[in-house]
């Protein structure tokens, strides 16, 4: 979470990226979650770092409710970084939003329905 990330000593030694803003089942407040990239196998970490700027652009489109734009960029990221599970999750989630529609009160926060 962002709270934990803020408490890491020597945080400059770690490579990380934003994953999502979620409301965990049973909670009312959302939390931001991050992924520490350092423990990833070298090739996977390199691919995630190589695609990080495009990944951030896709996240920004997603948060703004611009799902088609987000999907296009996430698909490009997935081509370059096929082992990126977070990107795959976003692709699946966005495809559902494109089928069913983005909620009217869209705020970019994903509400988890299971733990």
Question: Taking the model in full, what pTM does it have?
Answer: 0.89
Radius of gyration, alpha carbons of the chain: 15
Task: Give the C-alpha separation, 54 to 87, whole Å.
Answer: 11
pLDDT tens per residue, the chain (115 residues)?
A: 777 777 888 777 889 999 999 988 888 888 999 999 999 999 999 999 999 999 999 999 999 999 999 999 999 999 999 999 999 999 999 999 999 999 889 999 888 776 6
Sign of the Cα pseudo-torsion (103, 94, 24, 48, in order): negative
């Amino acid at each position: 979470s962002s709270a934990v990330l803020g408490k890491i000593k020597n945080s400059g030694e770690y490579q990380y990226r934003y994953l999502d803003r979620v409301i965990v089942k049973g909670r009312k407040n959302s939390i931001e979650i991050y992924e520490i990239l350092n423990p990833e196998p070298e090739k996977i970490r390199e691919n995630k770092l190589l695609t990080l700027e495009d990944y951030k652009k896709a996240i920004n489109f997603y948060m703004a409710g611009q799902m088609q734009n987000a999907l296009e960029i996430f698909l490009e990221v997935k081509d370059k970084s096929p082992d990126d599970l977070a990107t795959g999750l976003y692709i699946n989630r966005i495809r559902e939003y494109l089928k069913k529609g983005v909620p009217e009160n869209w705020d970019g926060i994903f509400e988890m329905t299971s733990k």
